[in-house]
Amino acid sequence: MPIPETAQRKQLRYPGQCATCSSEISAGTTAFHDASTKTVYCLECDEAPAESGAAGASARREHDRRSDARENRIRTNHPRLGGLILALSEDPRSTKAWAVGAVGEEKLGKRLDALSSSSVRVLHDRRMPGSRANLDHIVVCPLGVYVIDAKRYKDQRPELRVEGGFFSPRTEKLIVGRRDRTSLTEGVLKQIDAVAGVLNVPGLDGIHIRGALCFIDGDWPLIGGAFKISGLHVLWPAKISELIRRPGELDDATIGRAYKALARALPPA
């Protein structure tokens, strides 16, 4: 929530609660006061990013970049027939995959935004420090922080396959549409580490951080279906929304502080 232009910076005569992050503001503290709505805003929120980010933005940009580069290359190499070649051909699968991924992130982002409130803060498409990878969605809620990686494997069923046992090491595999996708878990675990690094400060270091692989448009069974692998939830949009809405120990003020810390340290991708 951006600070309205009608709010004036002043020293508060009475204590209040920030309308953006819900943190307590003591009397005598310099803050923004909006006399028309009788609301106050802390100075930190004036400096914090006003936008939660656009879900799927970086994936869509990468698709457009690749598609435009292909079109320019074809038109340059074939000045006369370039338009016809483009009309009769499609972008390669590797390029279309970025658009498919963007749609999945956008769908999940819309659902998460519908839950947004002072108790549920959402960030989309954030840059991961020291990496070209990004974090699709981060949700701060009463239960803690959910790091959510959106995947769109249309009409394919995610399953947990357990191998080994008494006489051989027990292994767990994430199977999606009969293909081994266990490597997807590695990316989410790295994202959790990045979020934990940001929150490793007094007052926020005890927040529980959970990871999830959320499959959009998958072939989920009518009963059951969700499972965990390497400590990560594997589920669908409605199921992650259900977890986010559950009550927990974090109050609105702590949720607001965690949200601001993550928004600053992890800028939009």
pLDDT digits (tens, 9 = 90+) for 117-130: 989 999 999 998 88
Structural domain for 15, as ranges:
8-45
Contact 120, 184 (CB under 8 A): no
pLDDT over threshold 80, residue 58: yes
Of 3-7, 52-56, 112-116, 252-256, least confident by mean pLDDT is: 3-7
**Mean pLDDT to the nearest integer, 129-158:** 94
Contact 227, 234 (CB under 8 A): yes
* Local confidence band at 47 (pLDDT 50, 70, 90 cut-offs): low
pLDDT over threshold 70, residue 57: yes
pLDDT tens digits along 174-187: 999 989 999 999 99
- 63 assigned to some structural domain: no
Distances (CA, A) of 231 to 115, 172, 221, 247: 24, 11, 22, 21
- 52 assigned to some structural domain: no
Domains: count for the chain: 2
The whole-number pLDDT of residue 169 equals 86
Same domain, 18 and 144: no
Same domain, 239 and 114: yes
Same domain, 39 and 111: no
**CB atoms near residue 41 (< 10 Å):** 25
Q: Which residue has the tokens 């991708």?
A: 269
**Mean pLDDT to the nearest integer, 76-89:** 93
- 14 assigned to some structural domain: yes
Same domain, 36 and 151: no
Same domain, 22 and 113: no
Same domain, 160 and 248: yes
Degrees (nearest 5) of the Cα angle 184, 125, 117? 110
pLDDT over threshold 70, residue 49: no
- 228 assigned to some structural domain: yes
- 187 assigned to some structural domain: yes
**Mean pLDDT to the nearest integer, 104-116:** 94
* Local confidence band at 51 (pLDDT 50, 70, 90 cut-offs): low
pLDDT tens digits along 163-215: 887 778 889 999 999 899 999 999 999 999 999 999 998 889 999 999 999 99
pLDDT over threshold 70, residue 2: no
Same domain, 141 and 248: yes
**Mean pLDDT to the nearest integer, 251-269:** 90
- Report which of residues 236 and 22 the model is more confident about: 236
Three-state SS string over the chain comes to CCCCCCCEEEECCCCEEECCCCCEECCCCEEEEECCCCEEECHHHHHCCCCCCCCCHHHHHHHHHHHHHHHHHHHHHCCCCHHHHHHHCCCCHHHHHHHHHHHHHHHHHHHHHCCCCCCCEEEEEEECCCCCCEEEEEEEECCEEEEEEEECCCCCCEEEEEECCCCCCCEEEEEECCEECCCHHHHHHHHHHHHHHHCCCCCCCCCCEEEEEEECCCCCCCCCCCEEECCEEEECHHHHHHHHCCCCCCCHHHHHHHHHHHHHHCCEC
Same domain, 39 and 137: no
